Chain A
């Protein structure tokens, strides 16, 4: 959850603020209009005072003075309306631009950069933070008015009669103190309130996670009572918050009128002394109110501070480097030969991949095995340019990947993952998702190849079922991810642990479909299970980021270290208590998370090793020299695998 990115110590108005310079002209207009409205508002009490004086003395309408009042009022209102209109549209424009710009940078960058922050955090930055940051320029432009109004009020008081101004300045400190206490005491009650609220949310989440139990046990009403139990405490804290608000509001309800009565009293005495007129007194009472209107300014300052900190959260995203690319195409009808030359990857001071050299001949299959943390997934990411290596080159049919046009590259290189994110709205959309949309028939063929057709036809609306209405298990999601890769199958297919949640029969079907692409696609399979390594032409065995060996699985198996790789991946493999079962094997859809260890370990059987009973020495660490994985078993079939099983969905 923690996007523990090193604290960016950029100046407060870094990228995002600079980016907002786009709306310079409307912003200047907003600032001018808002200042103009404030000036009109400041001038108005004096104008009204003069008009009243003339009215009282002349007993008839003083048209020039009255028209001035009307003009000032109209000006203030119209300028306010312009500020609302222009400010609103400018903020809307800036928000849309900022959001699109941030998303654009994130999408153009390597996915790992965007993944530095958690998805929830990234969503918050794209929505709330972007809106806060985009509101800053307009808020700042209108904040001018927030300064002008109280300032104008004080100036007005001093101009009319300095004694009234002094009276206000004496009363003001008490006002400031009040605001302080308000802020501090609400924060405490608000924290308690939020804690109880989080408790309700937690309990609800727990129950929703266990909803199958609730459904079976008819315990929904009991659960509701349990979830809403903290509401009593919540309401108590809520009441406390209102009480604090109330006492603060009560204090201000005394203070503000008292302050204005104080100023009025001074003005009254001055009126009695003949120092000021009735109109002046009227203006004084209005200026006193304007002068204490600092509250609106504190609100604006708060919004600006919030927007600034939001902008600081966006800065690192806006400065993400894009993946560079040129626009070369790949040779037509290339076999999909993949070459990794001197690949180095550096992450946070470590080198998870070091001097990896590997050639996968076009149309063959390669399994990547190794203990967890040995760099398997990273190798898979480098091979299809989900990430760029820090050193070395990846070539597909002789063309460096970073020179290939991105559309061509994504057309030719397909990925399937252990936990695919499903794109699109319906099941069909998610299989078809990609740079180029396959036909409906291709989608169905791909689904069949991924053994997904069976469960898709069981869904309420088949392929048209919206994803949010499709009850999908981890294994079913995996098969949709596989189908997506198959539907776009080009010359390179990369499966990163993409069958881990499948039961053994389904996994075999997928492997058969994969094997049928021999000669058409080069296939790279990151495998934790033995069964995946068995099926391929060649295995590359990674250890601590380096290639330890490349060879056929049956040859490598003689090495106890190699066997240990699978043992560690499957963790405790032991037979349990039942001797009656000849072979136990998991056949369920796990949820594909890390907890599958106990279930998976049972795949390691004590079946006799066909052929090599004597451990054949394997050249340990073939070093930086290029290792060529051969194609001698052209069908990509395992040497020792039973071929007779009819799958449940292909009788």
Chain B
């Protein structure tokens, strides 16, 4: 069955755009979470990893040859009086670069196999998270979600690619260089390995504190950006309230906090340079120191030059690349990836498209002593409300803003569970039925998306046939819009539609559904009164029960019954009864005449701004 998304306790969102669930902010925690989800990702791509490693072996060979060929060229060629031999050895080294170049190309192909799926996954996750969050949170954080989809997933993509590339290059270059050193003289390893390992250890020890500084820096940066963004969109109000100095003081604090984080990062960068020096700059010096001993044990001059070549031309650049990637992008990568960890569940798609069997006389919907409050401390919006909706009935709900009309719509549609009481559909609890098969809820903000008009109209009933679609289009007066766009299969760009046209498309979509209960939550607010009347009449003629959360009071006059809401006080009856008995209804409808005179009566008041034909609403056969 379809679970209702919890709406009562919105998740806490912090300004850094971290996911709502509480995460420990220690580096260890972040690294653990990222590793936990990263290992299965890599395991699933072990072939890509192996392919990458396979091609990298060619680079291993090339690195091996750079030093070895130089050593041989000097010893056997240039210093032995046969420059040709020397040149031949160098030619070997030169030729070895060509397969390595091919390997580099292949490596980037393999890299794409590791990087693109990561980005895909991150975008999927952030889209799911944005949707899940928007479904539960009262205020969708659009900017933040879009930033996660575009900006942060790219940071992760670039950081990950850089890490894979430099790690791979380091592993195979280092292996090639060490093998070459061993080939020249195994004793060389005794000289080179200790400082290398010591430096790597030092560097690894700085990684965790570095990552913590990175996180602090990113956090401070985003806090400043949030403040700046807020300030930028509130300049007029800041000036008008005189909050300028306070805003500025806040910005100054955040900017100096960030500068502090950056200074701390710079100190660690200096430490990192020292660690890197131990790795890459100490071995050549040690080599010079140990040279007499090595030469006593048979190290030739060529081998000495070859060893230097390994150390300065292969090992040092690879180390430098790896450590700078780890030190900068690496910390950032963990911080950013950690924001994507944790999976979210979206509510499952509906499985049934027809309501469960029920007696034709059963109440379509029933509220039994329903109460609703937005929080345990909040005043209830609905207070023990009873309401029964009969088949085919047309109810209008009116009341001032904040009186709970939209809350009633959401509770009636089982989008929000009532705090107390029970909502029943067709004589059963709402949980027994596929929600979308029983009711259609149309909110004020029409969801029209980039796609064809057909896709938009069939959004709630993808299986509708051409005839049904055209009937609904005609009934709701969407024909002129359809002709303007160029037919059902013409693309729709929501940005080029007025709000009223978007609502018309959404109404058309509702007209096409077969659900026995249709709830319009101010879904006609951007239509002019004539178009609104046509839409409501056509939807009432569609059959089934119609509940209209009224935007204008004319909607009430068209209904058989009117529910007047005023906070927790409600009154229900025919329009005539309410005029007689409800002070509030009278207040809402009649006795407010703001203008002492109307506009000149010569105006052409029958024109409908959207150019809708009036009275083209054919009665549709009820589908309940």
B232 within 8 A of A: yes
CA distance A459 to B13 in the complex (A): 16
B596 touches A609 (CB 8 A): yes
Q: Is B470 an interface residue (CB 8 A)?
A: no
A516-571 residues at the B interface, CB under 8 angstroms: 529-531, 534, 554, 557, 560, 563-564, 566-567, 571
Binds A, one of B76-84, B332-340, B480-488: B76-84
With contact pairs A285-B313, A423-B238, A557-B597 given, residues A224 and B104 touching in the complex (Cβ less than 8 Å): no
A81→B274 contact, CB < 8 A: yes
Decide yes or no whether A13 CB sits under 8 A from chain B.
Answer: no
The one of A420, A590, A598 in contact with B237, judged by C-beta atoms closer than 8 angstroms, is A420
Instruction: Pick the contact of A111: B236, B313, B593 (CB < 8 A).
Output: B236
Inter-chain contact A587/B236, CB cutoff 8 Å? no
Q: CA A410 – CA B228 in complex, angstroms? A: 22
A249 contacts which chain B residues (CB < 8 A)?
104-105, 108
Q: How far is the CA of A111 from the CA of B236 in the complex (A)?
A: 5
Asked if A22 lies at the interface with its beta carbon under 8 angstroms from chain B, I say no
Q: Which of A82, A239, A257 contacts B112 (CB 8 A)?
A: A239
Q: Which of A96, A257, A503 contacts B93 (CB 8 A)?
A: A257
In angstroms, Cα B10 to Cα A58, docked, is 80
**In whole Å, how far is A637's beta carbon from the nearest beta carbon of chain B?**
14
Q: Tell me, in angstroms, the Cα distance from A407 to B244 when the chains sit together.
A: 10
B132 on interface, CB distance cutoff 8 Å: yes
**Is B599 in contact with A460, judged by CB distance below 8 angstroms?**
no
Stretch touching chain A among B29-37, B373-381, B419-427: B373-381
Nearest A residue to B225 via CB reads A127
Contact among B146, B402, B440 for A455, CB-based, below 8 A: B402
Q: How many residues of A contact B (CB 8 A)?
A: 200
Q: Are B78 and A272 in contact (CB under 8 A)?
A: yes
Partner of B554, one of A201, A410, A581: A581
Within the assembled complex, what's the spacing in Å between the Cα atoms of A85 and B265? Answer: 9
Nearest residue (CB) in A for B69 is A261
* Residues A228-285 near B (CB distance < 8 A): 228, 231, 234-235, 238-239, 242-243, 245-247, 249-251, 253-254, 257-258, 260-261, 264-265, 268-269, 271-273, 278, 281-282, 285
| A599–B379 touching, CB < 8 Å | no
Residues of chain B within 8 A (CB-CB) of A608 are: 596-597
- B134, A227: Cβ atoms under 8 Å? no
Contact indicator B270/A460 (Cβ below 8 Å): no
Q: Are A238 and B525 in contact (CB under 8 A)?
A: no
The CA of A151 and the CA of B443, in the complex, are separated in Å by: 69
Closest CB in chain B relative to A104 CB, distance in Å: 6
- Set A273, A462, A580: member contacting B575, Cβ < 8 A: A580
Given that A574-B603, A580-B575 are contacting pairs, would A56 and B301 also be in contact in the complex, using a CB cutoff of 8 Å? yes
Chain A residues whose CB sits within 8 angstroms of the CB of B288 once the complex forms? 48, 51-52, 55, 61, 66, 69
User: Is the C-beta of A470 less than 8 angstroms from some C-beta in chain B?
Assistant: yes
Q: State whether A84 and B142 are in contact (beta carbons under 8 Å apart), knowing that A584-B529, A584-B552 are contacts in the complex.
A: no
Query: Are A60 and B62 in contact, CB atoms less than 8 angstroms apart?
Result: no
Q: Are A204 and B130 in contact (CB under 8 A)?
A: yes
Of the candidate stretches A115-123, A300-308, A337-345, A620-628, the one touching chain B is A115-123
In whole angstroms, how far apart are the Cα atoms of A60 and B267 in the complex?
Answer: 40
Contact B10 A469 (CB under 8 A): yes
Interface pair B441/A96, CB less than 8 Å apart: no
Alpha-carbon distance A623/B326, docked complex (angstroms): 74
Contact A228 B97, beta carbon cutoff 8 Å: no
Are B401 and A502 touching (Cβ within 8 A)? yes
Question: Which of B38-46, B189-197, B605-613 sits within the interface?
Answer: B605-613
Tell me which of A48, A250, A484 has the highest count of chain B C-beta atoms within 10 A of its own C-beta: A250
Q: Are B233 and A119 in contact (CB under 8 A)?
A: yes
B241-A222 in contact (CB<8A):
no
A residues in contact with B83, CB < 8 Å: 268-269, 272-273
Interface residues of B in 369-423 (CB under 8 A from A): 373-375, 377-379, 381, 398-403, 413, 415
> Is there a chain B Cβ closer than 8 Å to A180's Cβ?
no
Minimal beta-carbon separation of B210 from chain A (angstroms): 12
CB–CB A286/B105 < 8 A: no
**Among listed B178-186, B200-208, B358-366, B445-453, interface-contacting one:** B445-453
* Stretch binding the partner chain, chosen from A210-218, A395-403, A441-449: A210-218
Is there contact, CB below 8 Å, between A77 and B273? yes
Interface status of A114 (Cβ within 8 A of chain B): yes
Contact across chains for B597 and A410 when beta carbons are under 8 A apart: no
Question: Do A604 and B262 have beta carbons less than 8 Å apart?
Answer: no
Q: Check A648–B566 contact: CB distance below 8 A.
A: yes
Encoded as 1 (CB less than 8 Å from any A CB) or 0, chain B from 338 to 362 comes to: 0000000011111000000000000
**Complex interface: chain B residues within 8 A of A253 (CB):** 97, 100-101, 104
Q: Report the Cα distance A409→B242, complex, angstroms.
A: 8
| Contact (Cβ within 8 A) A530 B401 | no
A610 partner residues in chain B, CB cutoff 8 A: 596
Check B244–A281 contact: CB distance below 8 A.
Answer: no
Q: In the complex where A84-B269, A250-B105 touch, is A222 in contact with B131 (Cβ < 8 A)?
A: no
Q: Is A220 an interface residue (CB 8 A)?
A: yes
Judge whether B235 and A106 touch: CB under 8 Å: yes
**In the complex the two chains form, is A534's CB within 8 Å of B553's CB?**
no
- Whether, in the assembled complex, A298 has its beta carbon less than 8 Å from a beta carbon of chain B, the answer is no
Cβ contact of B593, chosen from A82, A268, A605, cutoff 8 A? A605
- What residues on A are CB-neighbors of B218 within 8 Å? none
Residues of A within 8 A of B556 (CB): 581
- A415-B241, A458-B381 are known contacts. Are A228 and B127 too (CB-CB below 8 A)? yes
Q: Are A645 and B591 in contact (CB under 8 A)?
A: yes
Pairwise interchain contact A246-B401, C-beta atoms closer than 8 A: no
The reply to whether B258 and A88 contact each other, CB–CB distance below 8 Å, is: no
**Is there contact, CB below 8 Å, between B97 and A258?**
yes
Contact partners of B446 in chain A: CB under 8 A: 210, 213
Closest approach, in angstroms, between the C-beta of A21 and any C-beta of chain B? 18
Instruction: Please tell me if the beta carbons of A96 and B240 are within 8 angstroms of each other in the complex.
Output: no
How many angstroms from the CA of A77 to the CA of B261 in the assembled complex?
24
CA distance A598 to B228 in the complex (A): 36
The answer to whether the Cβ of A589 comes within 8 Å of any Cβ in the partner chain is yes
Q: Which of A142-150, A153-161, A363-371, A471-479 interfaces with chain B?
A: A471-479
B459 contacts which of A219, A228, A410, A586 (Cβ < 8 Å)? A219
Q: Do A85 and B588 contact each other (CB < 8 Å), given the known contacts A55-B288, A224-B124? A: no
A420–B598 Cα distance when bound, in Å, is 31
B16 at interface (Cβ–Cβ under 8 A)?
no
Instruction: Report yes or no: B115 in contact with A586, Cβ–Cβ below 8 A.
Output: no
Known: A272-B78, A458-B402. A103 touches B87 (CB 8 A): no
Q: A588-B525, A595-B499 are in contact. Are A108 and B134 (CB under 8 A)?
A: no
Do B108 and A454 touch across chains, with their CB atoms under 8 A apart? no
Q: Report if A434-B111 is in contact (Cβ < 8 Å); known contacts: A254-B101, A506-B401.
A: no
Q: Which of A218, A282, A471 contacts B305 (CB 8 A)?
A: A282
In the complex, which of the residues A216, A586, A645 has the most CB atoms of chain B within 10 Å of its own CB atom? A216
**Contact between chains at B583 and A454 (CB < 8 Å):** no
Q: Which of B252-300 contact A (CB under 8 A)?
A: 252, 255-256, 258-263, 265-267, 269-274, 277, 281, 284-285, 288-289, 291-292, 295-296
CB-CB under 8 A from B145, the residues of chain A are: 204, 208
Q: Which of these, A197, A204, A433, A603, contacts B127 with CB under 8 Å?
A: A204
Chain B residues with Cβ under 8 A from A335's Cβ? none
In the bound assembly, the distance between CA atoms of A96 and B220 in angstroms comes to 12
Chain A residues with CB under 8 A of B374 = 458-460
The reply on A316 being an interface residue by CB < 8 A is no
- Pairs across A and B, CB under 8 Å, 22 listed: A66-B288, A69-B284, A73-B285, A81-B271, A91-B262, A96-B256, A99-B228, A123-B232, A197-B149, A200-B123, A213-B459, A243-B109, A250-B108, A257-B93, A265-B86, A272-B79, A423-B237, A457-B379, A460-B10, A506-B402, A530-B594, A598-B527
The 4 A-B residue pairs with the shortest CB-CB distance, nearest first, are A210-B447, A88-B266, A410-B242, A246-B108
Extra contacts, 20 of them, besides A253-B97, A595-B499 (Cβ < 8 A), are A48-B308, A52-B305, A110-B239, A111-B238, A204-B127, A204-B130, A210-B449, A213-B506, A222-B349, A242-B111, A249-B108, A253-B104, A278-B74, A282-B305, A433-B241, A435-B241, A468-B139, A573-B603, A574-B529, A587-B552
